[in-house]
């Protein structure tokens, strides 16, 4: 039943052909360097909260009242402008688009104010609607698409950034000192303390943003709180934390959201708790917290881990420019797409509509999944969105509206089955002749002797 875009997955052995226009990134499998210690942070940072936009990592420093910003390419730190206000408390930054939202209180005032930092202009603003409650016992704050989800004292509050208003969702038992991650339409709340006795659970509570319902995931292998979690693809990495009242750990566990199972990963270099982590270009950056090395307390340590790919020797991507769209398909009949549920695991990178049309939003990697109603078919394709010209890598064929070109796979065209993923942009005949219809990017698929080949065709104005 693995029919979904087998055109990509069967190209592993064919990427040497110049006519196959697929970006292939070498897997690091077998070349894993493990956790690497990086240059320390320029400040101590315990109980740290990080977010990332593009190639930059942001840490809210309440001493300077602004962000410390780390560029992973230049490895240089810089300061943002200062946030307005004084005696600010709270500070759970989340990202929506290119902006960072931080729910804060001022002094002893229980009025929560959402401050907004624009990463492109280096300017601050405030949301229009505020809400009265103390952020002291907030369990977690996380963003999905244009909404911010704040779990506090067993209640779930949702802030709609487009409407600038709060609504209440379905609550859950008060989890504190855990962490949360997003995969698709689900928020995974992992670890932390619960109940009057502050016992430490090892379970996973899953909130679905579409249905406003909760479910349970498989238990972690180790009870822990004050951990940090990061998402890479469909997997969540749980790092460090406190496993008893005063016992810290450097253990790593990996949760597969598809199979609902946990496995053990390579331990961190430092035993630490109260740290935070983010992922940039499939590399985990673990920073701050209370880290110990040979009994020495360190609060500025940085270590990284490059995520290896799974069982494939190569990882194949549909490669897109920011703003581009491309049509995916499950069968030769595009109307069959409506019988499947489509989703992107990271809609800030690329979105997909109910008919399998993908739109590239921002630079980065994501995966597009398609699943049928009974769950017997579930497949995905990686999407890589790049800045600049993707055509430099994918070797797209350019056509002007009205132009035609013939694609070639073998001397006998009758042995090739051709189809266009989006016939509104370009069509292809039985003999391999492509006709450009309107502006856009389209994937042309050719099947020959059981193998599948891809061709990118870009149509521009005449």
Q: What is the pLDDT of residues 86-103, one digit of tens each?
A: 666 667 899 998 999 988
CB 377 within 8 A of CB 3: yes
pLDDT tens-digit map of 139-160? 788 999 889 998 877 788 899 9
Helix runs in 87-130, H state only:
none
Dist CA 386 CA 403 (whole Å): 28
Instruction: Specify the pLDDT at position 195.
Output: 44
- Would you say residue 198 has pLDDT above 80? no
Q: In what order do the strands lie in the sheet with 302-306?
A: 36-37, 302-306, 283-287, 276-280
Count of positions (residues) in the chain: 462
pLDDT tens-digit map of 278-303? 999 889 999 999 988 777 888 999 99
Instruction: Specify the pLDDT at position 103.
Output: 81
CB 36 within 8 A of CB 304: yes
Inter-CA distances, 217 with 56, 149, 205, 332, Å: 32, 19, 6, 36
Mean pLDDT taken over the chain: 80
- 259-286 average pLDDT score: 92
Between 296 and 120, whose confidence is greater?
A: 120
Give 391's pLDDT tier (boundaries 50, 70, 90): low
* CB neighbours of residue 46 within 10 Å: 15
Close Cβ partners of 134 (under 8 Å, ≥ 6 residues apart): 105, 110, 112
- 40-49 average pLDDT score: 88
Three-class SS of residue 246?
coil
Instruction: Specify the pLDDT at position 131.
Output: 64
Dist CA 275 CA 297 (whole Å): 13
Residue with tokens 């009265």: 132
Dist CA 223 CA 244 (whole Å): 8
Dist CA 432 CA 31 (whole Å): 41
């Amino acid at each position: 039943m693995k029919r979904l875009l087998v055109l990509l997955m069967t190209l592993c052995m064919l990427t040497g052909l110049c006519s196959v226009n697929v970006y292939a990134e070498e897997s690091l499998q077998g070349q894993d360097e493990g956790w690497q210690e990086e240059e320390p942070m320029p400040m101590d940072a315990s109980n740290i909260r990080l977010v990332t936009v593009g190639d930059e990592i942001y840490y809210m420093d309440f001493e300077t009242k602004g962000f410390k910003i780390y560029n992973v390419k230049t490895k240089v730190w810089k300061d943002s402008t200062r946030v307005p206000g004084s005696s600010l408390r709270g500070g759970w930054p989340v990202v929506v688009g290119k902006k960072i939202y931080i729910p804060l209180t001022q002094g002893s005032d229980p009025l929560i104010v959402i401050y907004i930092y624009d990463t492109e202009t280096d300017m601050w603003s405030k949301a229009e609607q505020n809400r009265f409650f103390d952020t002291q016992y907030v369990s977690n704050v996380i963003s999905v698409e244009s909404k911010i989800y704040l779990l506090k004292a067993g209640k779930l509050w949702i802030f709609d950034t487009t409407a600038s208003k709060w609504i209440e969702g379905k609550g859950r038992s008060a989890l504190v000192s855990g962490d949360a991650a997003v995969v698709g339409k689900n928020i995974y709340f992992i670890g932390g303390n619960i109940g009057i006795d502050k016992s430490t659970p090892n379970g996973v509570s899953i909130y679905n943003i579409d249905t406003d319902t909760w479910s349970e995931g498989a238990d972690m292998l180790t009870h822990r709180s004050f951990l940090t979690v990061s998402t890479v693809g469909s997997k969540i990495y749980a790092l460090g934390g406190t496993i008893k009242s005063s016992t810290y750990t450097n253990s790593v566990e990996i949760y597969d959201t598809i199979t609902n199972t946990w496995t053990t990963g390579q331990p961190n270099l430092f035993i630490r708790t109260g740290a935070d982590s983010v992922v940039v270009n499939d590399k985990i950056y673990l920073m701050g917290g209370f880290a110990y090395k040979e009994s020495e307390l360190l609060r500025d340590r940085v270590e990284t881990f490059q995520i290896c790919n799974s069982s494939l020797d190569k990882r194949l991507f549909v490669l897109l420019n920011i703003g581009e769209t491309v049509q995916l398909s499950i069968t030769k009949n595009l109307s069959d797409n409506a019988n499947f549920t489509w989703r992107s695991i990271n809609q800030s990178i690329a979105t997909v509509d109910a008919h399998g049309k993908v739109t590239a939003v921002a630079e980065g990697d994501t995966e597009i999944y398609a699943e049928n109603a009974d769950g017997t078919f579930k497949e995905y394709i990686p999407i890589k969105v790049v800045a600049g010209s993707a055509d430099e890598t994918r070797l797209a064929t350019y056509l002007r509206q009205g132009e035609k070109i013939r694609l070639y796979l073998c001397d006998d065209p009758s042995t090739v089955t051709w189809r266009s993923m989006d016939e509104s942009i370009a069509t292809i005949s039985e003999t391999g002749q492509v006709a450009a219809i309107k502006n856009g990017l389209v994937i042309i698929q050719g099947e020959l002797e059981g193998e599948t080949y891809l061709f990118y065709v870009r149509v521009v104005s005449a």
